[in-house]
Amino acid sequence: MRSFVPAALAALGAACSSTDGPTANNGPQPVNIRFAARVGTATFVCGQNFTGMGTSSSVATPTEFMMYVHDVRLLKADGTETPVTLTVDNKWQVDNVALLDFTAGGTGTACPSASADVNTQVVGTVPAGTYTGVRFVLGLPFAKNHSDQSTATGPLASSRMFWSWNAGYMALRVDMNTTGKPGGWFMHLGSTGCTPSTNATTVPTSCAQPNRGTITLPGFNPATNVIVADLKELTATTNLDVDLGGMPGCMSGTTDPECATLFNAVGLAFNGGAAPTTSAFFRVGTP
């Protein structure tokens, strides 16, 4: 598991107090880690056309945009980590895991697989203090990633995020219709090379490619900043209008030719290659 520190944010910003106050104490203080789905400078809207996407300047219409995060931590200026204790709601959050769903839709909409509900934040508590950064893991912990989805509850009950063929969940799901692929272009990030793989319901005990990345974003104040997840940056070096092999887009397989640039944008090593030092997909922004 690697840590990715965007170069533009290489230095921790000046101390930002989000939980301190005139009467602050060391007891648990509420904190909301807000995420914002964007397409460049535009706000993400499911079913809306976005132009200038990828290397072919495609027109892309997203229909799914979801991700799991876990092990969320706030950072102090000296680099020390403080885990965020998530508020369990049995819908979006359980234990140290949260599901983010940016896709508002439903039957009769441009995003029929989605529901009307969205979740764009991780809610929890931390000890009072001054925090200047955030760190989290994209995806689920192994034990939760490879469990029986049919009996799962809360955020793990989402069938939209489960790979039945691989007996595991996706860490990130992006579905779009593009100019060249009107039937669908996909970025499904998840663990591969998992064994045993006797059949689709066999729960693996290990995976050769876990494909989980630790994202570190300095210069983040939960009171004033959001974590931007940018689809234009994710796809900036990928041609969205051609299929070089497998399903259009990336299904995380080591032989899937479109995965290399997409993994790089997320901040993950691909197929034994070197891990990038930056994650273009995630950045610190303002609401």
pLDDT score at 200: 65
Q: How far apart are CA 53 and CA 38, in angstroms?
A: 13
Q: How far apart are CA 120 and CA 167, in angstroms?
A: 26
Residue entry with tokens 């949260």: 98
pLDDT score at 9: 37
Beta bridge partners of 207: 194
Instruction: Write down the pTM of the prediction.
Output: 0.89
Q: What string of pLDDT tens digits covers the 287 residues of the chain?
A: 344 444 333 333 333 344 444 445 677 999 999 999 999 999 999 999 999 999 999 999 999 999 999 999 999 999 999 999 999 998 999 999 999 999 999 999 999 988 899 999 999 999 999 999 999 999 999 999 988 888 899 999 999 999 877 779 999 999 999 999 999 999 999 999 998 877 767 788 999 999 999 999 999 999 999 999 999 999 999 999 999 988 899 999 999 999 999 999 999 999 888 888 889 999 999 99
Distances (CA, A) of 94 to 12, 85, 97, 153: 30, 10, 5, 9
Strands 185-190 and 249-250: parallel
Q: What is the CA radius of gyration of the chain?
A: 19
Residue 191 token pair: 């663990």
Q: Tell me the per-residue pLDDT of 16-50, one tens digit each, with 9 for 90 and over.
A: 344 444 445 677 999 999 999 999 999 999 999 99
Strands 226-230 and 28-39: parallel
Q: How far apart are CA 74 and CA 96, in angstroms?
A: 14
Q: Tell me the per-residue pLDDT of 65-96, one tens digit each, with 9 for 90 and over.
A: 999 999 999 999 999 999 999 999 989 999 99
Q: How far apart are CA 36 and CA 21, in angstroms?
A: 26
pLDDT score at 26: 72
* Cis amide prior to 196 (ω within 30 degrees): yes
